[in-house]
Structure 1
């Protein structure tokens, strides 16, 4: 027995000697390995030793931080924002601000649908309706309430004459109106005298979104955590080893909630950040821990003592964890170029969470692994599977070795076939149609959603989501001379049903109603605003075109056009303008980082192309399922609108690309490790895929499970994100890592590791390599 290690060592030396004597055409000269000398490599090893030697205070400190974070983060959901889906610096955003702060008006926060037993014009019903409107106006937090019975506006009466609307403006900022709307909706819904009342409107929808989001978060955690443990058991066999990543994941999620609450005190943070970032944080913390624990078991299997195994794991897998988290952070940072609160808040939260996942793994695991020692394999549930793990099996030939070998025998056929398949899966994205989120994000049957459906059906001219136009510098003395012709021209614009303003109502180029008491709300001494009811819905292409036509009409004074249709136009423009900058951030940073990691200029280019291909199936499925409505049974029922939320593709790309690059770094670290040892490109690729295939598959299954649990949400936006991200991760871990990567690296051969001489010298000085 004592002689066996010497035999293996002798064979290893002979293998490397043969590799070094190969002629240049058989194997390029390996890049010099500076790994053991890199300061940061020593730094991670030294950190591991310090954490082990001071493990008792480390455990106490981590426990204290986790407890404080749990207490502080418990109220995170109450401070998150339910809006922020439109461009914050756009013309439509300035209109909303002017209407709110200067004119104390604008689109209603709440719309109450009051349905009586008889005609809304009956004397008793009309009297009850006026009284109900006055009662609503007198409630705490209500700034103004108008209805069909107080304004006699025929647009506020249903076509069948039995129902009418009460439009309510609330006091306070977005969060205050959301919370108050939820209270008022519960108080006013149901039977109210002669009416049955249903509540909808932006603030009510946001309130129900908040409630449903919290319920969905709990459901996703209850589904994701047990399934994650099962996957880890299958990967490790040992219950002790499987529980370690879950422990780190819990620490990461607890700290994530505290980070979200802290961020919310400085900036608006979307309520969906709670669902997305906790899932992302837990998944990545488990992933990073999985890589570290697996490397630790490999080191033990090679005969190292416990402390040396911990230190070596930190200097190799720990370095890769640190570098991989940096690639995810940079990918998420690209979201910061967009002037949209929803995307920026997810970027802030996501960056913090990814950093927490990496730091938690690197700080918690070294002392825990040292204390556990060789007991890491205790409670071996799947002993047979455990013996097949990389390191335990001594580099045996498993399924991933078999796949990589066969792909590299026919790289053109295999690579072309998968590339064509992925591109074909992306084709549905070519007819994608985009809109802003509205009530139909809620589950079917939600009260705000059913009431909004009734408004679309029975109150086509109500103008609850109108185009709003502000003339902030049109003084009172100039209105009589300049405004009538402008109102007439606006009312003649194709798609306009009616224009309401301080001089009355206009339609088809003429005034149809004189000014009355309600007209006073449309102006002050310095300027006016107009309410333009469109014939098309605000989230439709016709609604967009109508808003653009309104903007094109010459105005007697500087004019600003807002409303939901205009906000959709502005948001699309903002995304289109900033996408090149976001792409530049991702491409340039990834090229630099992967060069520093590999010393090659070819491998980074390959990674960018292949990682983008891994997203094609998700983008195609996004349209095929969520826009076109096919295969809805896979994710559960939802309100099918025929459109996608306009910000989701950008968010999905940045998150999924970062995750894909994360796995790229882990694979490249093992490929390069073997290449530096042997100089054989083909052998290094097979070795890397063989020794990371099972690991990356388990890691991808964990992330796909945690993110896929979001698809159980009753909110269509979370369904879309969860299903799309899970699919992207699975495609990347199988088709891309298992087939495309070996095919492309085989075709490139020695060129994989090429770099100009000046860059090779630079890499020798500043390269960030696995330690």
Structure 2
């Protein structure tokens, strides 16, 4: 199928790029430019959780709790705050459509609204808008908040959300401005040709434009979190360039083998193109595991990332083959490297000798590297979980500084209280029964008290929590309170949302793991024609993912490098942990497919197991390393993010790619496959038949113009797609049976 598609792309090489590029530009122009207005800041909570039900009851009864939207901290050494009162009055008069109410010391002179030294007081601004309109209202008044000579600091839940949103936007701009030029230089070094280096950039650029257009379309029907755009840019750009890198490399290899342009295009599509498609499918299936979780945040990231990966694969097998057909040998035009590729042989390369070295000490390499990866996994035992808050901003960021100061000066007014929504209370005695049970809770900033008056039997009790480490204990204690007859209790607030997200993680993560392992195992069995190789790949991926999570825990929970990278260590968001697991698993499987596919191809051509391992690594080692390096460069652009969660994902990708492209793919995989020997290639007949029907074996049986002659005496045709094995009485390797037939016909 892929070979035929390659021929089709060559035949219509002038039309295919024009149609697809035009479609993507229209998609981006019509929809993609509207993405910013369609994105959401929400989607972190479980829509079916008790905390969400509590929030809905509270909003339906009392309106949105907007008391902590914006907090203005004002210093006055004279302690009279007269100028502050005029400043607040001016804001209310200037923005009547955005400001709902203001609670401040400057109006009420409530002593609770100033600090113990009486030189700092605050005003709490409630905004009128609900949902996404809240952030728009804040941005409308933001400049005026700072337009004063008073020493004002701005904090509050909406101000923190705006700072996080700005950080995301800066990350994307940094990636586009800094990463792309550096990636272009790396591609020029890898290919030594300006034209060849430009090809993966074409795929990367078109993939980003198209995926943003798709994401905008989805945002018109679904809740798409702003975080999704950054992840789409990171994954889409990195994988698209990787796929282009593999396609260009294979096309040049086919030309070097003496093939005509048409045949080279078709074979590139049938080999590298097919691998790209299946690799993208595996990444997509890994990311689709996010749909198991209820949070809209995870679902929106999955939608965007899957669309980016799918579009990258589509462009790689449509636009690139057509461009190859147009360019032909001009793919090497504007060469900046003097040495010839034809002067280098596989056997002389470092990538050929390295797996040979690993296979000579296979047992020691396997035990040593597996032990190292397991040791790196151990810090995950110290992993803790929390929610998104101001600590995800850099310690020196002005909103973060203001929020930290407010929490310190006014601990009783935390903007993230835990709440108990009481419904159906028809008498004061019922409320007293509930109140008596919650008054003894330890770890609160003050005893829980009504934050609202009772309306239609509904009351909201609330209080701040002194230490985030007590969130789980306090929320579960509230959940276990015995409600009076006829009364319903709902635990709400940010602490409850965080605890319920963690509970969902613990409950659903095993199902996600089972789903992505099963789906990728089946796909790899079809690609490799073996059941042993997919099992080995899953184990390698789990080792890489575990080591990566261990390193991330050491950094972001335990604090290694926090001062250097300007972030505050602390609990991880459980949804972000789920996301990084899916990304790391997908990327590790991606490189496994490219590496082992070439080993399988060499084995089908008649090489021994060890020789197939060495040749497969030699063919792909340099490309995988270059692809990983390019992906690391893209991820590093996000590693300088102001947002801790983006640092977490970026460094997670960096560590996973480094481990995967070095010790795992170049050393551990060859060593383990050497120990497995002929068992690598085992599969039941139904897998072999499915593998053959996909066209793998037929293409591999076609002789290469540069293939050397092989000894044919005493060879027999074995069953299955692996046309070649050792005979009992000789060390010679078999060549494909179909090739033998062709040679006999020529003789």
Fold equivalence (TM over 0.5)? yes
Shift of 1:134: 6.1
- Correspondence for 2:545: 615
Q: Which residue of the other structure, out of 635, 658, 668, is the alignment partner of 1:707? A: 635
- Correspondence for 1:307: 262
Worse-matched range after superposition: 707-716 or 689-698 = 707-716
Matched residue of 2:14: which SS? helix
Worse-matched range after superposition: 609-618 or 150-159 = 150-159
Per-residue CA deviation, residues 645-699 of structure 1 (Å, 9 max, x unaligned), is: 3322221111111111111111121111111121521111111111111111111
Change (3 A) 1:406 1:428: same
Matches of 1:760 and 1:219, distance apart in 2: 47
Shift of 1:247: 1.2
Q: Which residue of the other structure, out of 713, 718, 728, is the alignment partner of 2:656? A: 728
1:413 is the counterpart of 2:355: no
Worse-matched range after superposition: 214-223 or 624-633 = 624-633
Matches of 1:722 and 1:458, distance apart in 2: 34
Change (3 A) 1:657 1:383: farther
Matches of 1:348 and 1:770, distance apart in 2: 36
Worse-matched range after superposition: 269-278 or 735-744 = 269-278
Q: Retained in 2: the 8 A contact 1:404–1:742?
A: yes
Matched residue of 2:70: which SS? strand
Matches of 1:467 and 1:564, distance apart in 2: 7
- Correspondence for 1:430: 381
Change (3 A) 1:564 1:118: same
Matches of 2:279 and 2:557, distance apart in 1: 33
1:399 is the counterpart of 2:345: no
- Correspondence for 1:353: 308
Shift of 1:761: 4.8
- Correspondence for 2:714: none
Matches within 5 A, 1:60-99: 60-71=18-29, 72-99=31-58
Matched residue of 1:615: which SS? helix
Q: Retained in 2: the 8 A contact 1:270–1:346?
A: yes
1:528 is the counterpart of 2:459: yes
The CA RMSD over aligned residues, in Å, is 2.5
Per-residue CA deviation, residues 507-565 of structure 1 (Å, 9 max, x unaligned), is: xxxxxxxxxxxx7x43322422222233x14xx11233222222222223110011111
Q: Retained in 2: the 8 A contact 1:487–1:499?
A: no
Matched residue of 1:493: which SS? coil
Matches of 1:74 and 1:109, distance apart in 2: 32
- Correspondence for 1:507: none
Matched residue of 1:559: which SS? strand
Shift of 1:131: 4.8
**Structure with greater contact order relative to length (CA < 8 Å, sep ≥ 6):** 1
Matched residue of 2:413: which SS? coil
Change (3 A) 1:631 1:465: closer
Shift of 1:766: 6.5
Change (3 A) 1:134 1:275: closer
Matches within 5 A, 1:460-499: 460-474=411-425, 478-499=426-447
Matches of 1:285 and 1:130, distance apart in 2: 51
Change (3 A) 1:154 1:133: farther
- Correspondence for 2:605: 677
Matches of 1:608 and 1:583, distance apart in 2: 11
Shift of 1:600: 1.6
Matched residue of 1:461: which SS? helix
Matches of 2:694 and 2:327, distance apart in 1: 36
Q: Retained in 2: the 8 A contact 1:82–1:209?
A: no
Change (3 A) 1:383 1:76: farther
- Correspondence for 2:67: 108
Q: How many residues align?
A: 696
Q: Which residue of the other structure, out of 148, 160, 167, is the alignment partner of 2:124? A: 167
Matches of 2:698 and 2:545, distance apart in 1: 27
Matched residue of 2:347: which SS? coil
Matches of 2:386 and 2:284, distance apart in 1: 28
1:594 is the counterpart of 2:524: yes
Shift of 1:123: 9.0
Matches of 1:484 and 1:472, distance apart in 2: 13
- Correspondence for 1:28: none
Shift of 1:371: 1.1
Shift of 1:223: 2.0
Matches of 1:765 and 1:604, distance apart in 2: 19
Per-residue CA deviation, residues 7-29 of structure 1 (Å, 9 max, x unaligned), is: xxxxxxxxxxxxxxxxxxxxxxx
- Correspondence for 2:208: 253
Matches of 1:151 and 1:263, distance apart in 2: 47
Shift of 1:154: 5.1
1:263 is the counterpart of 2:257: no
Shift of 1:424: 1.7
Matched residue of 2:100: which SS? strand
- Correspondence for 2:707: none
Worse-matched range after superposition: 207-216 or 66-75 = 66-75
- Correspondence for 1:7: none
Shift of 1:633: 6.3
Shift of 1:69: 3.2
- Correspondence for 1:512: none
Matches of 1:382 and 1:408, distance apart in 2: 33
Matched residue of 1:470: which SS? strand
- Correspondence for 2:324: 369
1:585 is the counterpart of 2:515: yes
Q: Retained in 1: the 8 A contact 2:179–2:634?
A: yes
Matches within 5 A, 1:658-697: 658-678=586-606, 680-697=608-625
Matched residue of 1:55: which SS? coil
TM-score by length of 2: 0.88
Q: Retained in 2: the 8 A contact 1:238–1:381?
A: yes
- Correspondence for 2:406: 455
Matches of 2:417 and 2:66, distance apart in 1: 7
Matches of 2:119 and 2:615, distance apart in 1: 74
Shift of 1:149: 5.5
- Correspondence for 2:294: 339
Matches of 1:371 and 1:292, distance apart in 2: 15
Matches of 2:439 and 2:695, distance apart in 1: 65
Change (3 A) 1:368 1:273: same
Shift of 1:747: 0.6
Per-residue CA deviation, residues 119-174 of structure 1 (Å, 9 max, x unaligned), is: 76x595896698579658x7213333323466776543323223233333323333
TM-score by length of 1: 0.85
Matches within 5 A, 1:40-79: 40=1, 44-71=2-29, 72-79=31-38
Matched residue of 1:498: which SS? coil
Matches of 1:45 and 1:130, distance apart in 2: 71
Change (3 A) 1:101 1:303: same
Q: Retained in 2: the 8 A contact 1:133–1:166?
A: no
Q: Retained in 2: the 8 A contact 1:107–1:464?
A: no
Change (3 A) 1:522 1:126: farther
Matches within 5 A, 1:230-245: 230-245=185-200
Matches within 5 A, 1:257-336: 257-336=212-291
Matches of 2:70 and 2:543, distance apart in 1: 45
Matched residue of 2:297: which SS? helix
Shift of 1:571: 0.7
Q: Which residue of the other structure, out of 395, 398, 407, is the alignment partner of 1:444? A: 395
Q: Which residue of the other structure, out of 557, 566, 578, is the alignment partner of 1:637? A: 566
Q: Retained in 1: the 8 A contact 2:207–2:311?
A: yes
Matched residue of 1:465: which SS? coil
- Correspondence for 1:509: none
- Correspondence for 2:491: 561
